[in-house]
Structure 1
Amino acid sequence: MKQLILAIVISFIITIIIGPIIIPILQKLKFGQSIREEGPKSHIKKSGTPTMGGIIIISAVFIASIIFALGNSDLMIAMLVTLGFGIIGLVDDFIKVVLKRNLGLKPYQKLIGQFIIAIIIAIYAANHPYIGTSLLIPFTNEYIDLGMLYIPLTIFAVVGTANSVNLTDGLDGLASGVTLIVSSFFALVSLGLGYYGLSIFAGTIVGACLGFLKFNYYPARVFMGDTGSMALGGAVASLAVLTRMQLFLPIIGGVYVIEAVSVILQVLSFKLTGKRIFKMSPLHHHFELKGWHETKVVIVFWMIALILAIISMLALSIY
């Protein structure tokens, strides 16, 4: 527990220290966010706010993790997965912001990179002597061995989680706040299950998200961009995989799931019927267009994430 607290504190302090250093650099380089014309009108004033702030999160997690990483392969693989997804997001942001191509990487290019990373961690976990192909079933003490189905399911979970977190990052403090709650859950659960290295890694995510909120909460001084949201998605996914808790992702990551499903339903509905289910997707924009202030949407989603975290704790028998 002492190391977990220390990991949180170190990551938090690093974020608080480097944030005021990196943000002016992003401003000077004119790495400003472009706002979609079809988006909520209230977001127009955010145009030009520095993006790619995920560099702050990744730096804090990387430095804090390195301090505790010696001799812990699980922590190292989680960190590398996070870094890998962060690099995909960084390239995407660079193309959007610097090369002025608003769509960034093409979908198939993103997916190729994501699938490569997902395959690596799936194979690593499947061949790990203390992980293997068994998954913990929520609300039971039982594990289910998926055998040959393990790798495709894990790949789907990793890629799906990364993209869902990416979709959630649309309001000031939304993705960072929700992920703070999700990573806190994994920090405590990993500790209870005996995955001490992963508990420390989750702690670095907690500290980084908490520190980043100082700069990212409304009105945001910096956005994490795909650099941050993809990295956080990779971090959450790796924690689930390495603790054998992929089946918990729809519960603890319920906010991410709802956001992703809202996009899927919106697209399907429009293509099949020509009508939209929501005023705009992802779901957080729907509530904005219904008249909710941005901070109200964020706080409500945080509360939902907290409730889901409590439910997820109840789904375990270790507490």
Structure 2
Amino acid sequence: MSNILIIFLALVISLIAGKFFIPLLRRIKAGQSIREDGPKSHMIKTGTPTIGGLIFLTSMLITNLIFNKINLTLVLLIFATFAFGLVGFIDDYIKVVKKRNLGLTAIQKLSLQILVSLVLIFFQYYSSSLENHVYVPIIKKFISFGVFYIPFILFVIVGTVNSVNITDGLDGLSSGVTIICLGFFAICAYKFNNMEIFKFSIILIGALLGFLYFNKYPAKVFMGDTGSLALGGAVSAIAVLLNIPLILPVAGGIYFIETLSVIIQVISFKTRGKRVFLMSPLHHHFEQKGWKEQKVVWTFYLAEGIFCLISYLILF
């Protein structure tokens, strides 16, 4: 089956899954609570079903099991995606279904993320069929990190997962940015002749395109931490298994700019008592400046496309 048809099938399965999951999420009252300190325009989104990441995760799994080659690479990709998604699901379930606002504590969430990351790293590092050298852009050579490989990759995975989570703040933003980012990694996988990662990437693109039908402005469903942590797990696992984690800050430029805006805001406020941005993450800053939500989203899509083009030029 052609790659276009595989993407189309993943899209269709997402559309079907959406018709099933959205009414189910409404029935169990899995509605999003909007932060009172967030943009006032977002208050109308209160009660919109969340945990919608189940839609594209269902499509991704079914389509991969049908059309992809099951080997260690695919197992690790699916593991990373679903294990991080499970961490997010637990957090979502406690917050929106059990109505306990705190969900998982920061320490609990970080500990589970580290545990999942270490499992992925362990199987990659000690597998005889997978490389653990790191490809360095610009000089275009593989180097060994030796004993520093495990802590470095741990930092990359956990950082990426939480960066994708921070980006998920506007209708269609994280899903659309991730589609573009996955397109870049699909090209990389194809050029590296890694067909399992290539197919995984395009299948997830198709699944996210179907989800975006429901998630675009005005969103009928949010992905929740279930979806955003799962996408972070998928993107970071792809980069690690392709041995190109060093390209992530550029290829995932929007994720990391969003995270950097939060870090800058916190440091500035704690040290100087002043805010650099009207509101963080960065997408809220532009909203506070009067930008329409759709304008922010499409501008970030364009920026992510540019970041991916730069990444391609640096990498190849």
- Tell me, in whole angstroms, the C-alpha distance in 1 between the residues paired with 2:213 and 2:160: 25
SS in structure 1 of the partner of residue 47 of structure 2:
coil
1:66 Cα deviation (Å)? 1.3
Does 42-51 or 128-137 show the bigger shift?
128-137
| Aligned equivalent of 1:209 | 208
- Tell me, in whole angstroms, the C-alpha distance in 1 between the residues paired with 2:93 and 2:178: 24
Q: Are residue 183 (structure 1) and residue 198 (structure 2) matched?
A: no
Normalised TM-score (structure 1)? 0.96
Residue 181 of structure 2 aligns with an amino acid whose one-letter code is V
- Tell me, in whole angstroms, the C-alpha distance in 1 between the residues paired with 2:183 and 2:7: 10
1:182 Cα deviation (Å)? 0.6
| Aligned equivalent of 1:50 | 49
Q: Are residue 172 (structure 1) and residue 171 (structure 2) matched?
A: yes
- Tell me, in whole angstroms, the C-alpha distance in 1 between the residues paired with 2:307 and 2:25: 35
Is 1:4–1:199's contact at 8 Å kept on the other side of the alignment?
A: no
- Tell me, in whole angstroms, the C-alpha distance in 2 between the residues paired with 1:39 and 1:310: 33
SS in structure 2 of the partner of residue 279 of structure 1:
coil
1:186 Cα deviation (Å)? 1.0
Residue 203 of structure 1 aligns with an amino acid whose one-letter code is I
Structure 1, residues 57-111: CA drift from partner, whole Å, max 9, x if none?
1111111111134442101110111000000000000111012222321001011
**What pairs up with 1:109-120 in 2 under 5 angstroms?**
109-120=108-119
| Aligned equivalent of 1:303 | 302
Is 1:180–1:206's contact at 8 Å kept on the other side of the alignment?
A: yes
1:3 Cα deviation (Å)? 5.1
**What pairs up with 1:12-31 in 2 under 5 angstroms?**
12-31=11-30
Q: Are residue 156 (structure 1) and residue 155 (structure 2) matched?
A: yes
| Aligned equivalent of 2:61 | 62
Is 2:69–2:196's contact at 8 Å kept on the other side of the alignment?
A: no
**What pairs up with 1:274-289 in 2 under 5 angstroms?**
274-289=273-288
| Aligned equivalent of 1:313 | 312
| Aligned equivalent of 2:269 | 270
1:268 Cα deviation (Å)? 1.2
Q: Are residue 74 (structure 1) and residue 73 (structure 2) matched?
A: yes
Identity %: 49
Residue 198 of structure 2 aligns with an amino acid whose one-letter code is S
1:18 Cα deviation (Å)? 1.2
Q: Are residue 243 (structure 1) and residue 252 (structure 2) matched?
A: no
Structure 1, residues 260-291: CA drift from partner, whole Å, max 9, x if none?
11111111111111111111111100110111
User: How many residue pairs get matched?
Assistant: 316
Is 1:81–1:117's contact at 8 Å kept on the other side of the alignment?
A: yes
User: Unaligned 5+ residue runs, structure 2?
Assistant: none
Does 95-104 or 161-170 show the bigger shift?
95-104
- Tell me, in whole angstroms, the C-alpha distance in 2 between the residues paired with 1:263 and 1:201: 31
Normalised TM-score (structure 2)? 0.97
SS in structure 1 of the partner of residue 315 of structure 2:
coil
Residue 104 of structure 2 aligns with an amino acid whose one-letter code is L
SS in structure 2 of the partner of residue 50 of structure 1:
coil
- Tell me, in whole angstroms, the C-alpha distance in 2 between the residues paired with 1:93 and 1:173: 19
Residue 291 of structure 1 aligns with an amino acid whose one-letter code is G
Residue 65 of structure 1 aligns with an amino acid whose one-letter code is N
- Tell me, in whole angstroms, the C-alpha distance in 2 between the residues paired with 1:285 and 1:70: 41
Structure 1, residues 176-210: CA drift from partner, whole Å, max 9, x if none?
00000011111121011011101111111101111
Residue 281 of structure 1 aligns with an amino acid whose one-letter code is S
1:250 Cα deviation (Å)? 0.4
Is 1:131–1:244's contact at 8 Å kept on the other side of the alignment?
A: no
Q: Are residue 133 (structure 1) and residue 132 (structure 2) matched?
A: yes
SS in structure 2 of the partner of residue 136 of structure 1:
strand
- Tell me, in whole angstroms, the C-alpha distance in 1 between the residues paired with 2:87 and 2:26: 22
- Tell me, in whole angstroms, the C-alpha distance in 2 between the residues paired with 1:251 and 1:4: 26
Is 1:176–1:209's contact at 8 Å kept on the other side of the alignment?
A: yes
- Tell me, in whole angstroms, the C-alpha distance in 2 between the residues paired with 1:169 and 1:94: 17
- Tell me, in whole angstroms, the C-alpha distance in 2 between the residues paired with 1:159 and 1:125: 16
- Tell me, in whole angstroms, the C-alpha distance in 2 between the residues paired with 1:278 and 1:213: 28
SS in structure 2 of the partner of residue 30 of structure 1:
coil
Is 2:28–2:97's contact at 8 Å kept on the other side of the alignment?
A: no
Structure 1, residues 204-250: CA drift from partner, whole Å, max 9, x if none?
11011111110000000000000100000000000000000100000
User: Unaligned 5+ residue runs, structure 1?
Assistant: none
| Aligned equivalent of 2:230 | 231
Is 1:131–1:243's contact at 8 Å kept on the other side of the alignment?
A: no
| Aligned equivalent of 1:257 | 256
Is 1:114–1:159's contact at 8 Å kept on the other side of the alignment?
A: yes
| Aligned equivalent of 1:89 | 88
1:130 Cα deviation (Å)? 4.9
| Superposition CA RMSD, Å | 1.3
